[in-house]
Amino acid sequence: MSVALLSSGSALAAHLPYFHLGAIETGVVPIQAFGILVALGVLIGASLLRRYAEWHGISDEDIRGLTAWVTVSGFIGAHIFDVLAYQWDNLATPGTLHYEGPILLLKVWSGISSYGGFIGGAGGFAFYVWWKRLPARLMADITIMGLLPAFSIGRIGCTVVSDHIGAMVDSTQWYAALAMDYPAKGPDTLGPIAELARDHHVTADHLLAWNLGLVELLWLIPVNALLLWLGFRAQPKRINAGFLVVMTGVLYAPVRFFLDFLRPENTDPRYAGLTFAQWSSFLAFGAAAVVAVRIFKTGAPAKTITATSGEAQARLKVILKESDDEDKDEAKGAAGEVSVKKAKRPEAKASVAAAKADAKDKVEEAEDEADDEVDAAKAKADAAKAKASAAKGPAKPVAKAKADDAKGEADEAKIDAKAKVDEVKAEAKAEVADAKDAAERGSPGVAPTLGPDD
């Protein structure tokens, strides 16, 4: 990671030295320190949001849904409003140095605005709460409990890369101790500093200027401390639902409003004398103040599932452990069943073999009986035929008729015998099939060992 730490000799004692965190060189794609801090802020903010939501009994589905909607819509809004408010010429004025046209709106990595993120996130929040019919005031507090810490950690990223350089500072003033001593010449000179040096005809090697990301961060630290203290206080000292979010608006908006007067016009253009962030701060403060009055008059504390969030987390861990134990017990039981059924496979195979042998015996016995019946009927028919051949005179027609009857009986006996044999075969086949099914059901998950010809 490239780190710059420079200062002029006399400025060490009176001013903040210049520092800058660059990129981590991985040999493939450089990883920016700013991006790492923003990602860290999102993770920590999401963790605080989840803890506060779980304390109030919000379901895991709604926690994940709210986080996703606010995060995605926030990043989209941050870029769109940055383009509209700070890069309008690049979007809509052909012929300018950095003109890109409407495609710039799709380049979400090309500039973000904090108030744009607030507006986009608020839109995603409003839609999700309306869609799921959730309590708006409680969900607003849950959101700000994750959003403000995440935003504040992001301001650390702005600080270490000097993303928001403000006006020059008079080194003789008492507040100059909070200004940063930037190099005004050489390869480490930042673009905004070079412009300040040129506009103010600075010839020295260094100049003092505001690192507004740092100044804002110094204010956000106590605001975060107050937010977390009020939000996670134990029962019964709970504040009304919705108060945390309006308190944040009331405390942040005025400070941001006045800090923006220190921003140069070439980076933060004015609209009717104020920046986009100043107009947004004005509206945010007014809306927060109006809603705060309503919350004090008609609000009530949101219910929690335990006296403290720590107790809620402990209870949740117990529930999750019990659930894991139940899952493990079920898995062990299922594994035991499989083992038992596998152990019964030889018994099942023997049962099928016995069924086959029994079926074979029944078929053979039926075939023998059928053969005997057919042979008896045939012998009777042969005897009648022989008598008919030997008969003479008037007795011959009678004998011949008896011989024909015997032959018919023999044919019927043959048909009946075949039908009986077929019936026995069908019954035997069904018994073998039942035995196979029973064997396969007794060994789930194991490939059947009985082939179609067995």
DSSP string, 269-317: --BTTB-HHHHHHHHHHHHHHHHHHHHHHH--BPP-SSSSHHHHHHHHH
Task: Say if residue 192 is preceded by a cis peptide, omega within 30 of 0.
Answer: no
Q: pLDDT value at position 33?
A: 87
Query: Which sign does the torsion angle of CA 268, 269, 270, 271 carry?
Result: negative
Backbone angles phi, psi at 301, to 5 degrees: -65, 145
Task: Give the residue carrying structure tokens 């006996």.
Answer: 413
E strand or H helix at 248: helix 243-259
User: Contact at 8 Å (CB) between 284 and 293?
Assistant: no
User: Contact at 8 Å (CB) between 33 and 161?
Assistant: yes
pLDDT-based confidence at residue 13 (cuts at 50, 70, 90) = very low
Share of the chain above pLDDT 90, in %: 46
What is the CA 449 to chain-centroid distance, rounded?
Answer: 43
- In this predicted model, what pLDDT tens digit does every residue of 277-286 receive, in sequence order? 999 999 999 9
Q: pLDDT value at position 421?
A: 73
Between 161 and 397, whose confidence is greater? Answer: 161
pLDDT above 80 (res 355): no
Please return the burial class of 134, using the count of CB atoms within 10 Å of its CB with bins 0-12, 13-18 and 19+.
middle
Cβ count within 10 A of residue 293: 10
The whole-chain average pLDDT of the chain stands at: 85
Spatial strand order of the sheet with 180-183 comes to 3-6, 16-21, 180-183, 206-211, 165-168
pLDDT above 80 (res 302): yes
Backbone angles phi, psi at 170, to 5 degrees: -75, 120
- Please tell me the distance from the alpha carbon of residue 269 to that of residue 56, in angstroms, as a whole number: 43
SS3 content of the chain, % helix, strand, coil (to 5): 70, 5, 25
Q: pLDDT value at position 67?
A: 94
- Please tell me the distance from the alpha carbon of residue 211 to that of residue 248, in angstroms, as a whole number: 22
State how far the alpha carbon of 97 is from the alpha carbons of 111, 251, 263, 307, 315, in Å. 17, 39, 22, 60, 60
Count of residues in the chain = 454
Lowest mean pLDDT among 94-108, 302-316, 403-417: 403-417
The residue-averaged pLDDT of 332-349 equals: 66
- Please tell me the distance from the alpha carbon of residue 230 to that of residue 237, in angstroms, as a whole number: 9
State how far the alpha carbon of 435 is from the alpha carbons of 13, 181, 344, 358, in Å. 94, 90, 14, 12
Q: What is the pTM of this model?
A: 0.69
DSSP state of 38: H
pLDDT above 90 (res 384): no
Q: Which of 27-41, 123-137, 226-240, 426-440 has the highest mean pLDDT?
A: 123-137
pLDDT above 90 (res 182): yes
Task: Give the residue carrying structure tokens 């990043």.
Answer: 75
Buried b (16+ CB within 10 A) or exposed e, 205-233: ebbbbbbbbbbbbebbeebbeebbeebee
CA dihedral of 220, 221, 226, 229, whole degrees rounded to 10 = 140
User: Contact at 8 Å (CB) between 289 and 250?
Assistant: yes
DSSP state of 107: -
Task: Give the residue carrying structure tokens 């200027």.
Answer: 209
Between 363 and 294, whose confidence is greater? Answer: 294
pLDDT above 80 (res 142): yes
